[in-house]
Amino acid sequence: ILAFIVSYTLNGIFTFQSEKLSHRGFMIFVGINGSLLVLVEIFQILAIEFMEVRELFAVAAGMVLYTISGFFLNRRFVYQAH
């Protein structure tokens, strides 16, 4: 949970330059990013085990998927209204 607190705070200050951070925004952030972590794990399992993608490429693709989707989802639902 500490990682989520630090990530929410630093993203709010430096990436999205949000003027206000809130408990509600943090809860949405945890929901979005927790869900993304689960989805990326599922993606990586499917890619490695069933599609026989090399582990390095599947992990790298998962990182890219998490980063890009996380940026847009957080910008839209967490930091835009705050």
Q: What is the pLDDT of residues 14-73, one digit of tens each?
A: 999 998 999 999 999 999 999 999 999 999 999 999 999 999 999 999 999 999 999 999
Looking at residue 80, its pLDDT comes to 84
Looking at residue 19, its pLDDT comes to 87
For Cα atoms 52, 44, 42, give the angle at the middle one, nearest 5 degrees.
120
Find how far residue 33's CA is from the centre of its chain: 4
CB atoms within 10 A of CB 64: 11
Examine the pLDDT at 82 and tell me if it is beyond 60: no
Show Cβ contacts of residue 53 under 8 Å, excluding neighbours closer than 6 positions. Answer: 47, 61
Examine the pLDDT at 81 and tell me if it is beyond 70: no
